[in-house]
Amino acid sequence: MLAPLFSSKLLLVLFFGTLFGLILGVLPGLGPTTGGALILPFTMTLDPLSAIVLLTSIYCAGTYGGAITAVLINTPGTPAAAATCLDGYPLAQKGEAGRALGMATVSSTVGGIFSVVILVFFAPILAQLAYEFGQPEYFALAIFGLTMLASIGEGSPIKNLIAGAFGILISTVGKDFMTSIDRFTFGINELTEGIGFIPVVVGLFAMSEMLTQSTLINQVFNRIALKAIKLPSKDDYKKTWKTILRSSGIGSFIGVLPAEGGTVASLIGYSEAKRFSKNPEEFGKGSIEGIAGAEAANNAATGGAMVPTLALGIPGSATTAVILTGLIIHGVRPGPDLFREQPDFLYGIFGAMLIANILFFIFGFFGAKIFARITLVPNKILWPMIFAVSVCGTYSLNQSIIDVWIMLFFGVLGFFMRRYGFSVVPVIIGLILGELVEGTLRQSLVIFDGSWLMFFTRPIALTFFILSLIALAFPLIRSRKLKKK
Amino acid sequence: MKNVQKQKRANKSLPFFFRDEFRVSLIIILISLALLITTFTFDIVPPILNRGIQPATFPKALLVLIIVMTLLIYYLATKNPWKIEKKLPRSFFLTLSSFVIFVVVSKSLDFFLAISALSIFVSYCWGEKRLFYLLLVGIIFPIIVFIFFETILGLRFPPGIITNIYYS
């Protein structure tokens, strides 16, 4: 598994990817999704394996990096670290920041490595199953993915569905790929090629965050001093090993589902840790189990989210959508054929994720104090710099100024979407799945001679439709149960 | 939690056209309707070239779905109102207007100048008054980024007053 990585160039890429991912994770508002999107143009100078190794190492390290800020300044560096704040910061306030970060580092590493094992075993099995899939099955699967995203993603399921449908709608802009007819181009030549993925991602994540930060310029963060990270004591290990394993399993499973990956995984991991704990009253007041539950789950989601991305070409999270774009840009088509034709490439990715998990453990353990200092860079200096990089990064992919304007437009849109409770993640997933949804629907209708009912004669497609209905009904059942209680 | 409930109650006391849920739903529906009307202007493919459905059918279905779901969120919001959002501060509107200035300057004058102007403007509006730091974010850093992108990716930035001087 590690053999394809034994080259000094790849190890160097892995080293810098992990380092860069940690820095992105530590900075509130940035994260592996935005960072991955910004670094994507630079991957064009690399070979495909190095490019994907860079993106995956950013993904793994960035997910962990959010914990440092969550513990020290009570602000999650990434959304996936939101649950870590609940107990990480109170524990740090008690003068045990080192212990909190030590547990976060160990549980993140265990969760991450656990999920890589899941990835190695389950991705080939899923890919093998995918050989049975035709166009109708892929259509049903994409619909299932979008409904799952709506039902278990953050916030209102209906708002998530609207956002997902909007993402698919964006993918229809430009020349229709089957008939070459212009759609929503409004006479603008640059739009005939469609709306690019990078301007939308950078706009929805980085620029909307810049606008959010503009509303918080008077906010003062109380940063807790960190002397050194402490490895968990024997007693801590005894208390948390079951929680870490449980959350690793939960995180990997949630990651496989096309939802919001680590964010949802960490919340479920945290609440399950509380449910199983002998001391649930300690949660929210600095429970070491709470930190372990949230951190193991969010890092376990990274490997889980890579399973459908590599095996089916359907992203499990926003960051894997960026990785999927990276694969496509480099001419690698994810799906079952990838497992048969390029096993070395895949094992290179698996190995890179494994090493990235070990590397961020080392970097986190020895360098958390330095990374914590990055949070001291004031927003009034940091965000104009991020703006310059975002603008140049977006421009660089197609050398188009229109892309930069599109990025700004989506920045404003993303800000208002978030303000009124619409998650931006479904837009990204909808955009990347849009062509698949429309293409497979139209090709299926050609196969079925225009009969919609024929979808229900295919057992796998029917199963996915039933699962989609269950996914849609799930929030309704959940809210009724809560009301009864 | 109590604060959210309070904000929700305050929202319920407002006339319906002042409520966020009404305004947001109305904007989504109006834009969707405009786009839906646009789909009727798409070219129609002759049956012999048509594969499955007409190119306009899929976007039409999506837009109808968005409208229906928006009506549903509005209906649900009448029972369970959204909380009132805080008023946006001046710094937000200044940052937003800097985006507009960026578009105008990058189109009419120069791409580099636009980045530089926005960086200095935003940094200043967010409270940075020290000249060195304003120069750092507005001139030194954009130059580093430009050179970095040009060297590594071989990127050529769009022509403009300053960019032309650099390239010549």
Residues with Cβ within 8 Å of A480's Cβ and at least 6 positions away in sequence, in order, are none
Which of A298, A284, A282, A287 has its CA nearest to residue A247? A298
Tell me which residues of chain B, numbers 129 to 158, contact chain A at a CB-CB cutoff of 8 Å. 133, 136-138, 141-142, 145-146, 149, 152-153, 155-158
Shortest distance between the Cα of A167 and any Cα of chain B, in A, equals: 10
- What is residue A176's three-state secondary structure? coil
The answer to whether the beta carbons of residues A344 and A4 sit under 8 Å apart is yes
Tell me which residues of chain B, numbers 29 to 68, contact chain A at a CB-CB cutoff of 8 Å. 35, 38-39, 42-43, 45, 49-53, 55-56, 58-59, 62-63, 65-66
The CA-based angle A266-A270-A272, given to 5 degrees, is 120
pTM greater than the 0.95 cutoff: no
B158 neighbourhood in chain A, CB within 8 Å: 401
The answer to whether the beta carbons of residues A394 and A55 sit under 8 Å apart is no
pLDDT at B14: 65
| 3-state per-residue secondary structure call for A353-383 | HHHHHHHHHHHHHHHHHHHHHHCCCCHHHHH
pLDDT at A172: 92
Residues B128, A378: C-beta atoms closer than 8 Å: yes
* Per-residue pLDDT tens digits of chain A, which is 485 residues long: 566 667 888 889 999 999 989 888 888 777 888 888 888 888 888 889 999 999 999 999 999 988 888 888 777 777 788 888 888 888 888 888 888 889 999 999 999 999 999 888 888 888 888 777 888 888 888 888 888 777 766 678 888 899 999 999 999 999 888 888 889 888 888 888 888 888 898 888 888 888 988 888 777 666 677 777 788 888 888 888 899 999 999 988 888 876 667 778 888 888 888 888 888 888 888 889 999 999 999 999 888 888 888 888 888 788 888 898 888 888 888 888 888 888 888 888 899 999 999 998 998 888 877 877 777 788 888 889 889 988 888 888 788 888 899 999 999 999 999 888 888 888 888 888 888 888 888 888 888 777 777 778 888 889 888 988 888 887 777 777 766 76
A388: nearest CB among B51, B65, B115:
B115
Interface check A377 vs B, CB under 8 A: no
Gap between the Cα atoms of B39 and B62, Å rounded: 11
Residue of A nearest to B146 (CA): A392
pLDDT at B16: 66
The answer to whether the beta carbons of residues A284 and A274 sit under 8 Å apart is no
The answer to whether the beta carbons of residues A448 and A139 sit under 8 Å apart is no
B136 neighbourhood in chain A, CB within 8 Å: 381
A388 neighbourhood in chain B, CB within 8 Å: 115, 119, 137, 141-142, 145
A396 neighbourhood in chain B, CB within 8 Å: 149, 153, 155
Which of A438, A434, A416, A461 has its CA nearest to residue A164? A434
Count of CB atoms situated within 10 Å of the CB of B37:
10
Which of A472, A194, A197, A195 has its CA nearest to residue A315? A197
Gap between the Cα atoms of A33 and A80, Å rounded: 12
Tokens, residue B112: 């580099």
Strand partners, A182: A175
In chain B, which residue ranges form alpha helices assigned H by DSSP? 2-12, 20-39, 57-79, 90-108, 111-125, 131-135, 141-153, 161-167
Shortest distance between the Cα of A401 and any Cα of chain B, in A, equals: 8
Q: How far apart are the first and last CA of chain A?
A: 50
Residue of A nearest to B123 (CA): A380
Residues A442, B58: C-beta atoms closer than 8 Å: yes
Residues with Cβ within 8 Å of A107's Cβ and at least 6 positions away in sequence, in order, are A240, A244, A247, A291, A292, A293, A295, A296, A299
Gap between the Cα atoms of A224 and A285, Å rounded: 16
Residues A419, B85: C-beta atoms closer than 8 Å: yes
pLDDT at A187: 84
Tokens, residue B126: 């967010």
pLDDT at A106: 92
Cα A4 to Cα A18, A350, A357: the distances in Å are 18, 10, 17
Residues B40-50 have pLDDT tens digits of 998 888 876 66
- What is residue A403's three-state secondary structure? helix
Residues with Cβ within 8 Å of A451's Cβ and at least 6 positions away in sequence, in order, are A445
A184 neighbourhood in chain B, CB within 8 Å: 35, 38, 59
pLDDT at B27: 94
Q: What is the ipTM of this complex?
A: 0.89
Q: What is the largest CA-CA distance in chain A?
A: 69
The answer to whether the beta carbons of residues B51 and A178 sit under 8 Å apart is yes
Residue of B nearest to A214 (CA): B92
pLDDT at B15: 66
Gap between the Cα atoms of B102 and B120, Å rounded: 12
Which of A109, A57, A152 has its CA nearest to residue A244? A109
B73: nearest CB among A156, A176, A215:
A156
Residues with Cβ within 8 Å of A161's Cβ and at least 6 positions away in sequence, in order, are A146, A147, A150, A426, B69
A186 neighbourhood in chain B, CB within 8 Å: 38
The CA-based angle A15-A17-A19, given to 5 degrees, is 70
Q: Is the pLDDT of residue B2 over 60?
A: no
A379: nearest CB among B24, B52, B126:
B126
- What is residue A175's three-state secondary structure? strand
A214 neighbourhood in chain B, CB within 8 Å: 89, 91-92, 94-96, 122, 125-126
Determine how β-strand A182-183 pairs with β-strand A174-175: antiparallel
Interface check A379 vs B, CB under 8 A: yes
Shortest distance between the Cα of A448 and any Cα of chain B, in A, equals: 9
- What is residue A120's three-state secondary structure? helix
Gap between the Cα atoms of A103 and A292, Å rounded: 6
How is residue A204 annotated by DSSP? I
Tokens, residue A116: 């890589």
Q: Which residue has the higher pLDDT, B1 or A71?
A: A71
Tell me which residues of chain A, numbers 441 to 480, contact chain B at a CB-CB cutoff of 8 Å. 441-446, 450
Q: Hey, where are the domains in chain B?
A: 2-79, 90-167
The phi and psi torsions of A182 (rounded to 5 degrees) equal: -70, 135
A162 neighbourhood in chain B, CB within 8 Å: 28, 66, 69-70, 73
Residue to test with chain B: of A392, A406, A418, most B Cβ within 10 A: A392
The answer to whether the beta carbons of residues A148 and A471 sit under 8 Å apart is yes
Residue of A nearest to B138 (CA): A384
Shortest distance between the Cα of B17 and any Cα of chain A, in A, equals: 16
Interface check B102 vs A, CB under 8 A: yes
